[in-house]
Structure 1
Amino acid sequence: MGWLKKFQSENRYVVFFFLYVGFCISYIDRSAIGLALPSISKDFALAPTQMGVVISAFFIGYSIMQLPGGWMADKFGSKSVILIALTLWSIFTFTTGHASSLAGLLFLRFVFGLCEGPYAGACYRGIAEYFPRELRPAFATGVLSSNYIGSAIAPIIIVPLILWFGWRGMFQALGCIGLVYVFFYAFFVKQVKPAEEEKAGAKKGSKKEYFLKLLHFSIIWKLVV
């Protein structure tokens, strides 16, 4: 696999481009259900309350994985968590197009939320890995945090897909797009450690200790709720 390393980059701006595109994909994928819901509710004969539950199922799974997602990114590195999260949520986006019942749709949306949940935390871990401390708040983290381009362009992508392929084909197409992105991310991005960890040689158990301390702050649980 030595030949692969020749193509992998640790250039901060290359990595940032991939992280930003991944955020766009995540916003497009999560917006898809809202735009497809009229067609889905017609096929499944859903009441308004049931439609609300379908949308909420994603956010329940997504919120559950916020803290564990950040911990996993610290433990295994941003690249591993991003690749796993994106692969799994793309698979469940694809399989949403095969849902045959309300229960199945709810399950797929909940698991989709679980799989997408770690992505944001892994991205911010990625910022720490590739950007010096002074650039993190003002440039990298600030730009990622304000990334709503995915939501803005979602209708432009999703509505034509629904018109051409139906809502099922739309989810399948989005899932395939996500899997293609995973290939390019794995191929072109090199995993590194934050500079301060390289210098200090992160102590064993310290990350676990910090994570357990984090759970004692009530503000964290309020944010999750």
Structure 2
Amino acid sequence: MTRADTAVVDIDGTLVDTNYQHALAWFRAFRRFDVTLPVWRLHRAIGMGGDQLVPAVAGDRFEDEHGDEARAAWKDEFEPLLPEIQPFGGVRELLTAFRDAGLKVVLASSGAPEHVDAYLDLFDGRELADAWTTSEDVDRTKPDPDLISVALERVDGNVGIVIGDSVWDFRAAGRAGQAGYAIRTGGFSEGELRESGARDVFDSLPELDQALDRLLS
């Protein structure tokens, strides 16, 4: 395999601990429409963008009738939780290790621009990454491959390693023809992550950092 020249790193759930806040915000958003969905089911869909998540969990009819309103409601519910969000341990060290290994670093998010800005502030992301993405950069989010393709284009990358936490990250990576490596911080099992296409699975960012030389060899 041609050596990777770019690390495409998911933010939500991979670099910052957000997945359970996202699930709770979606639960509250759907309740505004008298729709009660189990939080565990919502958690399983976290990692998709809102364009994909709403029909996946509530159906196409709900999407047609309330999709945009539901996404607006989710944003209203999620933003008060932003002050609770914290980065995972080892974020700065891992991003620095990617750059020291000669990789360009793109932080790939389909989150709202203002949310991505808040996350970047938590770990000095603007200084550690060559570029990043937001929801404004793609029409369709994961598991479609568009976000990964845009991330590579942003830095003129050819071959990427995709780092993520959800099955949707690796389905997208596979469709984009890129290798994926998983962190279990999103709450998915090792088996699920491997089945979705992850080549290896790590329990934490520092564990991935320690294995980086092997992954890039």
TM-score under structure 1 length normalisation: 0.29
Higher helix share: 1
Higher relative contact order (CA 8 A, sep 6+): 1
Bigger Rg over Cα: 1
